[in-house]
Structure 1
Amino acid sequence: MSEPDEALKRDLRDDLRHRLRPMPARDAGDTSRSTAPLELLYDLTYVIAFAGAAEQLAHHLVAGAPLPAIGAYLFAIFAVTWAWLNFTWLTSAYGNDDALFRVATIAQMAGVVVLTFGLPAGFSAVEEGHSPLNTLVIVGYLVMRVPLVLLWLRAAREDAGNRRICVAYGCTIAAAQACWILVAVLPMPFPATVLLLVVLALAEMAAPVLLERRLGNAPWNAGHLAERFGLLTLITLGEVIAATTVTVGTLVQENGWSVAAVMIIAAGLAIASALWWAYFQIPSRAILIRWPRRVFAWRYANFPLFGAIAAVGAGLRVAAAAVQEEKLSLFQVALCLAVPVAVALVTIFVTWSVLMHAYDLTHVPLFLASLSPVAAAVVVGAVLGRDEPLDLTHGHGLTGLVLVVSLIALGTVVEVVGHEVVGFRHTLRAVGGDQPEVQPDGA
């Protein structure tokens, strides 16, 4: 057998036989590194959790409990997104796709599903003034994080050069999980529980920065991380389209096709497509490969985006419910859709600024032009229907709904067109002044 055939057999043996094998540090400077199929499968379970949180948000907004719904949603989105980011950080540094790694990943996926089943009870508990940490949420989060801790400790055993940072990550995640459990089981007033959850969340977010500054970087791959964030963004946008289609389908089955149904599905497609276009105008992979130290600030700037995108789906669900049930006002519909779209646009702008290290004012006019139609939609909702339920058969109900969803969709389109015509030049100017970094050891 020729040498190329032997090489092919070795490659196939590694790809097809997932026995236990070493778990060394991955090559942090490998610019060809791409997302593995296991990581994509893992992401799908998280999108289901985002969809479950968005569905509960819409349900409780329609029921007339906006503040508890928003609070419970923020908690759920943080918990899910942070667990995803923790695992992504590990896989970027140590993913070896052997049998043990696959089993640990599938176990974490099971935890996401369990947590998702606990979301309805968590939302209802917050509405009643109780902690969102019910048994299913805690068990689900525990199942998500214990395998992650074990994988970090396995990496510490097999990578002597990065042992301290791997042990630190494993111990920190274990300690944080113990704190989550304590907050859940200790009897405390609701305000104290909320305060402790916020403090714990902030501490978890600060820990990786402090650990890597003190102990050195884990061998994550900046280009791989950029791709992982981009793919989760893409899948979450797909969930918005799927949720919008299902919601409008239910509306059409009960009431038939109408202008309102057409506008809602068109707005969902337009907003999702424009946010996709706008997000991928950020050259994350190319810039992070060249300047990998920017990855920490970049990942935290990205952090709100997944929740904002999922909440767009919730806003579209609310719009459909308002048409069907005539409980909410046009102003409420406008707020439910405009706020997450505005947060998504702000997040994209901030992520671009953090990534490019460009904070001057030349990009601000385009940013404001994108937000102006979104703000105008809220004004239209307040003027045409602030208090009375949305009624498409009388007054300005149908006209107002068409204007609101059209203006919000227009804001996302303005961002795309503006960047294609003008904004890309600012990206090129921002790149011109910086020198590339030397890839640090283990980073």
Structure 2
Amino acid sequence: MSGRDPRERGRASTPLELLYDLTYVIAFAAAAEQVAHHVADGHIGPSIGAYLFAIFSVSWAWMNFTWFASAYGNDDALFRVATIVQMVGVVILIFGLPPSFSAAVEGHSPNNALMVIGYIVMRVPLIAMWLRAARQDPDHRRVAIGYAVMIVIAQTGWVLTAVVALPLSVTIAALIVLAIAEMAAPVVVEGKLGRAPWNAGHIAERFSLLTIITVGEVVAATTAAVEALVDERGWSLAAVVIASSGLVMAATLWWAYFLIPSRTILEKWPERTFAWRYAHLPIFGGIAAIGAGLRVAAGAVREENLSVSQIALALAVPVGAVILMVFVMWSVLMRSLDLSHVPLLLTALAPVVAAVAVGLRAGSGGTIDVTRAPDLTALVSVVALVALGLVVEVVGHEMVGYRHTVRVVEQASATGDAQRVG
């Protein structure tokens, strides 16, 4: 475990890394299912809080492993066993998600013993691997030890928030502080002790693969929503429109994400990786929440316990957030605030806002009843408008935004070449 080459071009994910990612298919689906269930029961605020905590927990666990694997993933027997043990920890974490949401709804902390145990099972082998790297890679010994110490301190904090009885407000504040500290610590460690030998191109591929996995939750949720409508009314034009719109959402989410040339930029400027990777936290959460919104629609169709306006918000808010974060991630990665993208952003958000307006107008009639033509029409319109927002995002970037991307890259490359010559 002497460290991978951080400048290796074309490095791909290993079969072991792909196997590890499979556990996160279940994790994102479980979080989406829980927030959809509790929102449908009317516990909107606590459910959203528990969802944010769940998405951070799941995403951060994945980032911890991915960061180490990019630097030291040698795929030997010890590394494989350590990875499989971490997969067990992810499964334990997933078992902790339902109690986490239930606790939040009841006014308690979303952090619980199962989630903490899952993290311990994941982090003990990870700490051992960082210490192994410190012993076998003298050139990066200080930063490897720094990561091991950082994880021990952070995990101690998470354990204390779960076992020490504190007022809810204090516990929530502690969880927020811990989350911020977790994100800041790697930047500080590598800034003070040197950079671990992670590969920026490999990191870009790993994050893109997890994004695709998260988009899969939208496909699964679309199937659930259409199944609910078909069970209620049989196949109809409305069911076809919702199915088509859901699949369009999945396709355009994928398309919009890959409009950003992440791997190309990060391989050229790896120092931009930290800000870029943190921009993924709301992106992962937003995409999974779109699936949750579709699950909310499916539950409302079956049980008629939500209004069209509530369904519209459950879909429009995460879609709007993802569209906004694509703009933010482009700006962070390119280190350029191209104001010509602002009209594109506003144009893409316009159908999403229209979906909310349609939902609010239709929602004044109370809970949805798909046997009534106005409610069914409003539901179909909301889903179609939300999907249209993502279509506009893709078309706008392909027609206008991509030229701006190329121009920014060329200008940055020319500036960098001139500085090196000087």
Structure 2 length normalisation: TM-score? 0.96
For residues 254 and 117 of structure 1, the distance between their equivalents in structure 2, rounded to whole angstroms, comes to: 31
Measured after TM superposition, the shift of residue 426 of structure 1 is 0.5
Measured after TM superposition, the shift of residue 125 of structure 1 is 0.4
Contact 1:92-1:221 within 8 A present in 2 as well: yes
For residues 60 and 351 of structure 1, the distance between their equivalents in structure 2, rounded to whole angstroms, comes to: 30
- Is the deviation greater in 290-299 or in 277-286? 290-299
Is residue 100 of structure 2 the alignment partner of residue 122 of structure 1? yes
Secondary structure class of the residue paired with 2:366: coil
In structure 1, the partner of 2:246 is 268
Query: Which residue identity lines up with residue 306 of structure 1 in the other structure?
Result: F
For residues 310 and 197 of structure 1, the distance between their equivalents in structure 2, rounded to whole angstroms, comes to: 22
For residues 165 and 296 of structure 1, the distance between their equivalents in structure 2, rounded to whole angstroms, comes to: 16
Measured after TM superposition, the shift of residue 254 of structure 1 is 5.5
Measured after TM superposition, the shift of residue 291 of structure 1 is 1.0
Measured after TM superposition, the shift of residue 250 of structure 1 is 4.9
In structure 1, the partner of 2:383 is 405
Cα deviation 1:348-369 (Å, max 9, x = unaligned): 1111111111113111111111
Corresponding residue to 1:170 among 141, 144, 148: 148
For residues 406 and 400 of structure 2, the distance between their equivalents in structure 1, rounded to whole angstroms, comes to: 11
For residues 359 and 409 of structure 1, the distance between their equivalents in structure 2, rounded to whole angstroms, comes to: 26
Corresponding residue to 1:232 among 189, 194, 210: 210
For residues 36 and 344 of structure 2, the distance between their equivalents in structure 1, rounded to whole angstroms, comes to: 31
Is residue 204 of structure 2 the alignment partner of residue 216 of structure 1? no
Secondary structure class of the residue paired with 2:59: helix
Measured after TM superposition, the shift of residue 298 of structure 1 is 0.9
In structure 1, the partner of 2:314 is 336
Contact 1:304-1:347 within 8 A present in 2 as well: yes
Is residue 71 of structure 2 the alignment partner of residue 93 of structure 1? yes
In structure 1, the partner of 2:55 is 77
Measured after TM superposition, the shift of residue 246 of structure 1 is 3.9
Secondary structure class of the residue paired with 1:351: helix
- Is the deviation greater in 247-256 or in 102-111? 247-256
For residues 401 and 66 of structure 1, the distance between their equivalents in structure 2, rounded to whole angstroms, comes to: 20
In structure 2, the partner of 1:378 is 356
Query: Which residue identity lines up with residue 288 of structure 1 in the other structure?
Result: L
Secondary structure class of the residue paired with 2:279: helix
Identity of aligned residues (%): 62
For residues 190 and 416 of structure 1, the distance between their equivalents in structure 2, rounded to whole angstroms, comes to: 42
In structure 2, the partner of 1:281 is 259
Query: Which residue identity lines up with residue 30 of structure 1 in the other structure?
Result: E
Contact 2:127-2:151 within 8 A present in 1 as well: yes
Measured after TM superposition, the shift of residue 260 of structure 1 is 3.9
Which residues of structure 2 form unaligned runs of 5+? 418-422
Contact 2:228-2:298 within 8 A present in 1 as well: no
Is residue 335 of structure 2 the alignment partner of residue 323 of structure 1? no
Mapping of residues 291-440 of structure 1, within 5 Å: 291-386=269-364, 388-394=366-372, 396-435=374-413
Contact 1:302-1:348 within 8 A present in 2 as well: no
For residues 241 and 130 of structure 2, the distance between their equivalents in structure 1, rounded to whole angstroms, comes to: 48
Contact 1:240-1:312 within 8 A present in 2 as well: yes
For residues 386 and 272 of structure 1, the distance between their equivalents in structure 2, rounded to whole angstroms, comes to: 30
Secondary structure class of the residue paired with 2:107: coil
Distance 1:64 1:72, change over 3 A: same
In structure 1, the partner of 2:126 is 148
Measured after TM superposition, the shift of residue 253 of structure 1 is 4.1
- Is the deviation greater in 132-141 or in 272-281? 132-141
For residues 217 and 406 of structure 2, the distance between their equivalents in structure 1, rounded to whole angstroms, comes to: 32
Measured after TM superposition, the shift of residue 395 of structure 1 is 5.8
For residues 158 and 397 of structure 1, the distance between their equivalents in structure 2, rounded to whole angstroms, comes to: 65
Cα deviation 1:90-147 (Å, max 9, x = unaligned): 0110000001100100111111111111111110000001111222111111111111
Distance 1:389 1:224, change over 3 A: same
Cα deviation 1:295-320 (Å, max 9, x = unaligned): 11111122211111111111001111
Mapping of residues 95-110 of structure 1, within 5 Å: 95-110=73-88
Cα deviation 1:137-169 (Å, max 9, x = unaligned): 111111111111111111111100100000000
In structure 2, the partner of 1:192 is 170
Cα deviation 1:238-270 (Å, max 9, x = unaligned): 222123224433553465324443333222101
In structure 1, the partner of 2:420 is none
Which residues of structure 1 form unaligned runs of 5+? 1-22, 439-443
Secondary structure class of the residue paired with 2:95: helix
What's the C-alpha RMSD, in Å, of the aligned pairs? 1.5
Aligned positions, number: 416
Contact 2:86-2:121 within 8 A present in 1 as well: yes
Secondary structure class of the residue paired with 2:412: coil
For residues 231 and 366 of structure 2, the distance between their equivalents in structure 1, rounded to whole angstroms, comes to: 26
For residues 383 and 45 of structure 1, the distance between their equivalents in structure 2, rounded to whole angstroms, comes to: 41
